[in-house]
Amino acid sequence: MSTSANAADAGASRYLISDLLEMLETYMPGDQVQEVYRAYLFGAEAHEGQHRMSGEPYIYHPVAVARVLGEMHMDYQSIVAAILHDVIEDTGTPKDVVRTEFGEQVAELVDGVSKLTQIRFESQAEQHAENFRKMMLAMVRDIRVILVKLADRLHNMRTLGVMRADKRRRIARETLDIYAPIANRLGMNQIRLELEELGFEAMYPMRHRVLSEAVRKARGNRKEILNKIETAIEQRLDEEQADCRLLSRQKHLYSLYRKIRDRVGSFNEVFDVYAFRIIVNSVDTCYRVLGTMHNLYKPVPGKFKDYIAIPKANGYQSLHTVLFGPYGVPIEVQIRTEDMERVAESGIAAHWLYKSSDASGGGNNAQTRARLWLRELLEMQRNAGNSLEFLENVKIDLFPDQVYVFTPAGDILNLPRGAAAVDFAYAVHTDVGNTCIAAKIDRRLAPLRTTLHNGQSVEIITASGAHPNPAWLNFVTTAKARSNIRHYLKNLQKDEAIDLGRRMLDKALYTIDSSLRDINVVMIEQVTRDCGFDHRDDLYADIGLGNRMAMLVARRLMPVDEGREDRQQEEQRSRPLAIRDTEGMVVHFARCCRPIPGDPIVGFISTGRGLVIHTETCSNLGDYRSRPDKWVDVEWQSDIEGDFPAEIRVDVNNQKGVLATVAAVISETGSNIENVSIEERDGLDTSLVFVMTVHDRQHLARVMRCIRKLPSVLRITRSKG
């Protein structure tokens, strides 16, 4: 259905409150209908004088949103919240007034849908992301928040034609990226399809028009084949005396468009599929009808999916199969019960729509799965650094082309296609993901980056001292895994920053004849509060990250006598900061000069990164000379261990196998090559540049001596910036 057609249809009923009340009376007690009418009077007064861009009174929009929810048979509080959903945001009506008039639940629903208008944001993207986070957190508390929002978005999409073209495209993109996938995640197929169709038309009007015309022509040409297949299926079902309904399904334009785009196929290849849905009265009949269909037409191997035994994440259940039809055309058949059909179309809304009828728990199944998803959202929100990261994680989570795998106990977990063993570990439990070291896939050891496939059995091996690896972010696909890894790394960085900051502050205090042990705890807490922090660890972390100078904090902790100022510099040099073997994420070794133990070094405080270590002879130091307050005297710790990258340039005769010979010598000396590049000098000579790991200057000197002995080597030098 086109946007204009939808708008015309909506305009025909004119959003009359009397029509809404008449609809509600079919399933709602009279006192609740009266409460809805009272909300209408309240909303009409609040929106008095406001108009939509189409020129119609603003109250038409909230009533239309309420009609969408009324068609789902939602409870009266949802209907009231729909009518009032813009009063806090657009009319200045306080939340407390809504609470007083209509109760706590309605006030929370309205507030959950309202945007944050009183806070200034640095960018529109940040504002959009923060509004989205606010709505999703409200949705965790009450699932009806998202139902009101989806109904609001649906009516906005139906009346999008009055907007400017750029605004239409922006809203359509947001709908296709976020709201249609959310509707799909909650199993609300009817709303999802309409949002996708309207979003497609607004986002790509030319493509929509061309594809719509192609579909119109193709349907006329295939009507005879469709009737023949339908008749054959009906006759076979009658012979089997199956109590069922047969529906032919129309392919939706956006679904066709995505298949053409993603599969890079032609329209005829994608459209030339005949789709039917068979609705039966029991699960047993589903499987019996499946056998009947496979006897009528041969099934296409590998195209059968049993979503009854293994439901989708949104609670969807059905049998799917593809058959070889007459003339070689493929036939898609879906087989499900009446209850499954209700859940497939309404998702979590089936909980309200059929809760008083004979539904056998299908809606509750969708509700349970929605609740599980919401709990995962809450965990992602806690681990996300900001609203933009949270929005990114939710987007990742909303597009699961799923794969089903088994735990050792036989339980089924569904993950996005392309998920790795690490994703599986985090899906089992956050602690399992944080401590995993390997996996057994079908009882065979496999790396954590191994991609999982349908039907595999996965067992995760953990170790108490293990922790997430930053490299996992390069291959994990689930939002839960990504957010938990990032959360761990952020905490790790903060812990390291706290340790470094404490050492730097202690060193700064030493220059004025003191130390942290000598400072009164009350004084430290006072300076911490003066600097805007609640806890001293936050102050230490700020120093360690380079955002605050240690000497300035030291002077506030212990004022310096004038007579002591002249000897500060000398004393400062007398006690350099010791650099350990692995300083983690807040001490960085400069790539320009690649310092290694034994090199004379200096430290430079870089805002947000922490301490950057250079060699004293680094050519880049001249750029920093104008900022002496950023320098820190440092030295290598005496018992330092570990591997450090060093870079050497080897000039060689251009002979066959020379690279392999040099690499073999480097390996024999206990060094690991991280990178090698080749620079052609002329036809006879070549320069090989190696980045390799060494323990210290002595180790590097031993490597260089061994390489220099090779007959093909002309010269060897260390690159130090």
Rounded Cα distance, 285 and 300, in Å: 21
Q: How big is the CA angle at 627 (ends 624 and 631), to the nearest 5 degrees?
A: 80
Q: Where are the alpha helices (DSSP H) in 531-682?
A: 536-544, 550-557, 562-565, 568-574, 658-668
Identify the residue whose tokens are 């070689």.
328
Q: Where are the alpha helices (DSSP H) in 114-164?
A: 124-141, 144-158
Active-site residue among 71, 90, 230, 583? 90
Active-site residue among 19, 56, 89, 338? 89
Q: Where are the alpha helices (DSSP H) in 418-478?
A: 421-428, 430-434
Rounded Cα distance, 434 and 481, in Å: 9
Task: Using CB atoms within 10 Å of the CB of residue 608, give its burial: 0 to 12 exposed, 13 to 18 middle, 19+ buried.
Answer: exposed
Rounded Cα distance, 403 and 385, in Å: 29
The DSSP code sequence of 508-545 is HHHTTT--GGGS-HHHHHHHHHHTT-SSHHHHHHHHHT
Rounded Cα distance, 370 and 347, in Å: 9
Residue 405 has φ and ψ, to the nearest 5°, of -130, 165
The DSSP code sequence of 262-290 is HHT--HHHHH--EEEEEEESSHHHHHHHH
Rounded Cα distance, 112 and 142, in Å: 9
Catalytic-residue membership of 90: yes
CA distances from 186 to 179, 190, 213, 311 (A): 11, 11, 32, 13
Residue 380 has φ and ψ, to the nearest 5°, of -60, -40
Helices 104-113 and 144-158: crossing angle in degrees, nearest 10, is 50
Beta bridge partners of 645: 693
Whose CA is closest to 476, among 486, 467, 490?
486
Rounded Cα distance, 102 and 688, in Å: 77
CA distances from 578 to 393, 490, 549 (A): 39, 24, 18
**Count of all residues that appear for the chain in the document:** 721
> What is the token pair recorded at 277?
């849905």
550: Cβ contacts below 8 Å, ≥ 6 apart: 501, 504, 505, 507, 508, 543, 632
Catalytic residues, by residue number, are 89-90
